[in-house]
Structure 1
Amino acid sequence: MAVFTSVSLQDLTQWMPQFPLGKATAIRGIASGIENSNFFIDTEKGEYVLTIFENLNFEQLPFYLKLMRHLADRGVLVPAPIANQNGELCVALQGKPAAIVSKLSGTSQLAPQAVHCAEVGAMLARMHLAAQDFSIRQPNLRGLTWWQETAPKVLEFLSDDNRRLMHEEVAFQTAFAATDTYQALQNGPVHADLFRNNVMFDGEKLTGFFDFYFAGCDTWLFDVAVTINDWCIDLETGVLDMPRVDAMLAAYHEVRPFTQAEQIAWQPMLRAAAFRFWLSRVFDFYKPRDAEMLTPHDPTHFERILRLRIASAPTLFSSN
């Protein structure tokens, strides 16, 4: 969540009457994140989040916004998109698609313990199950096809060793995606970016997931791996913290038991989850877009994690 497109209070005042939120009284940019322009807005009805989409278009956005509405209606703790007087969840602002969603309570837990990881695991499983009957299908736009297309664009910026690593991992993931094991993995809508700063807590109680704008249809196990690779590691080294890993996986498994194919696929999925963010961070670092308040993430963090996941073969659920 950065600010690429500026919006003033006057701009907002002219745009807001179509929504049932009363008059806008304040707007302030949100500095974290790197994809869209995001703002907290105060209205006569309360606080909300305004997002202007910098990459996604009007045709793509119904998947994300209707998915969030679908999940919210089924009791999953996510921001609820607000429709305008015509029932539209996405409306043009500054010539770009924009949406307003409810603001979650609480704060991000940036130093999670096992209890927090268990809360995330259980809610992630409930989210996967709740989205099974969501009717819109859209692939993960940062999945394998994107990796295959994007890796050649950044190889020139890498050392010989990292070029080799990137080439070999694309080849490995391409081959694995063609296996019977991969084809047997359960799938559906996934968050695909469930990092610590995309979850809110009030003490030890989870109050919501947000920032669904990398969501898409992928394997549920990939979503679990993305989450483990952020919530359950030592941030300095990338090494898995097994008490946190076990807490998250046990809580997920209690709601939606893992399958035998998922047991086999666990290490490749941890590698895939690490590679996806290494590649995107390399791309954003060397091919940045202009934005207010934007600092690209360091790509070496996920390079380190990828190398660790290649070198080790953790089991999916060590408590079994």
Structure 2
Amino acid sequence: MAVFTAVSLDDLHQWIKQFPLGQAVGLEGISSGIDNSNFFLNTQHGTQSGPQSGHYVLTIFENLRFDQLPFYVNLMRHLAGRGIPVPAPVPNNDGELIVSLHGKPAIIVSRLNGSSQLAPQPVHCAEVGRMLARMHLAAQDFALQQPNLRGIDWWTATAPEVAPLLSEAEATLLRDEVAFQATFAASATYANLTRGPVHADLFRNNVMFEGERLSGCFDFYFAGIDTWLYDVAVTVNDWCVDLATGELDEARVRALLDAYHAVRPFTDDERDAWQPLLRAGALRFWLSRLYDLHLPRAAELLTPHDPTHFERILRERIAHPAPGLPTTVIT
């Protein structure tokens, strides 16, 4: 969520009339993130679709084309319709969810209540685990198909572009881990893992809380079809770590995994795959942050993330196995 494409209230004066929202009266760029242009949007009046009538988020997609967006936008609509607390896309007067703004695809979604919990405790991790399991189950009958575009194919293609820009130790780690993940992805254990739509980016700043109650999650623009366990691994690698060391906090790990398992029990194959997929989740974000740091795009507001954070996590997951997945259902 950065601002690559500048937008003003004057730009929206005619454009917003295609939506049943009234005139735009407030617009604020969101500087966090690195892939799309995002704005908090306030309008004179709202629809019944959002928890905060008149308060929305406008997103302009910088890399994704119109034909690539239906998966993400309709997944949010599907989940919102199943009671999962996610932003609900707002259709225009013709029923279209994706429209053009400054020649690029754009959408408006409802803005969630609450704020991010950046210092999570076990109670917050349990809320996240429970919601993630509910999300997986709610999405399993979603009709559209799209692979995780930042999965193993992307790692294999991108690592050779980044490796020459790294130190010898970093390049060796990157090549070795991509090779390890490619081997594991060809295994029978990996083939047996349960798959479906995943969020694939469920970090602390993509979840909202009101006190200790989870009020919503957002930013589905890395979603795709992948193993559900990969989604859990990505989530644990952010919510349950010591940010300074990359080490896992066992109490937070147990809270998140037990809450998830109580809703959607883990399988034996998932228990066997847990350690490799924790490494996969760390690799994915280390590599993408390396790419964004060394091969950046121009943006009006851009906040690049430090790749060394996920390098630490990857090295830690390789050196020290994480707490295992639960085996009995916790009620």
Q: Normalising by structure 1, report the TM-score.
A: 0.99
Corresponding position of 1:238: 246
Corresponding position of 2:11: 11
Residue pair 2:266, 2:327 contacting (<8 A) in 1 also: no
Q: C-alpha deviations, 1:83-118, integer Å up to 9, x for none?
A: 111111100000000000000000000000000000
For the residues of structure 2 that align with 1:119 and 1:251, how far apart are their CA atoms? 7
1:305 aligns with 2:323: no
For the residues of structure 1 that align with 2:183 and 2:198, how far apart are their CA atoms? 22
SS in 1 for 2:38: strand
1:20 aligns with 2:24: no
For the residues of structure 2 that align with 1:262 and 1:113, how far apart are their CA atoms? 25
AA aligned to 1:218 is D
Deviation at 1:162, TM superposition (A): 1.0
Residue pair 1:121, 1:249 contacting (<8 A) in 2 also: yes
Residue pair 1:105, 1:202 contacting (<8 A) in 2 also: yes
Q: Which deviates the most, 199-208 or 285-294?
A: 285-294
Q: Return the match for 1:105 from 113, 134, 145.
A: 113
Deviation at 1:169, TM superposition (A): 0.7
AA aligned to 1:3 is V
For the residues of structure 2 that align with 1:90 and 1:251, how far apart are their CA atoms? 35
Deviation at 1:20, TM superposition (A): 0.9
SS in 1 for 2:109: strand
1:129-168 equivalence runs, <5 A: 129-168=137-176
For the residues of structure 2 that align with 1:140 and 1:317, how far apart are their CA atoms? 23
Residue pair 1:246, 1:319 contacting (<8 A) in 2 also: no
1:1-320 equivalence runs, <5 A: 1-45=1-45, 46-317=54-325, 320=328
Q: Normalising by structure 2, report the TM-score.
A: 0.95
For the residues of structure 2 that align with 1:181 and 1:254, how far apart are their CA atoms? 23
SS in 2 for 1:126: helix
Q: C-alpha deviations, 1:207-255, integer Å up to 9, x for none?
A: 0010000101000000000000000010000000000000000000000
For the residues of structure 2 that align with 1:314 and 1:184, how far apart are their CA atoms? 21
SS in 2 for 1:59: helix
Deviation at 1:31, TM superposition (A): 1.0
Deviation at 1:293, TM superposition (A): 2.1
Q: Percent identity?
A: 68
For the residues of structure 2 that align with 1:319 and 1:116, how far apart are their CA atoms? 22
For the residues of structure 2 that align with 1:252 and 1:48, how far apart are their CA atoms? 30
Q: C-alpha deviations, 1:32-58, integer Å up to 9, x for none?
A: 111000000110121100000001111
SS in 1 for 2:56: strand
SS in 1 for 2:305: coil
SS in 1 for 2:245: coil
Structure 1, gaps ≥5 residues long: none
Structure 2, gaps ≥5 residues long: 46-53
Deviation at 1:319, TM superposition (A): 7.4
State how many pairs are aligned.
320
AA aligned to 1:289 is R
Residue pair 1:190, 1:217 contacting (<8 A) in 2 also: yes
SS in 2 for 1:152: helix
Deviation at 1:316, TM superposition (A): 2.7
For the residues of structure 2 that align with 1:53 and 1:196, how far apart are their CA atoms? 22
Deviation at 1:290, TM superposition (A): 0.9
Deviation at 1:318, TM superposition (A): 5.4
AA aligned to 2:21 is L
Residue pair 2:237, 2:282 contacting (<8 A) in 1 also: yes
Q: C-alpha deviations, 1:115-137, integer Å up to 9, x for none?
A: 00000000000000000000000
Superposition misfits of 4+ residues, deviation over 4 angstroms: none
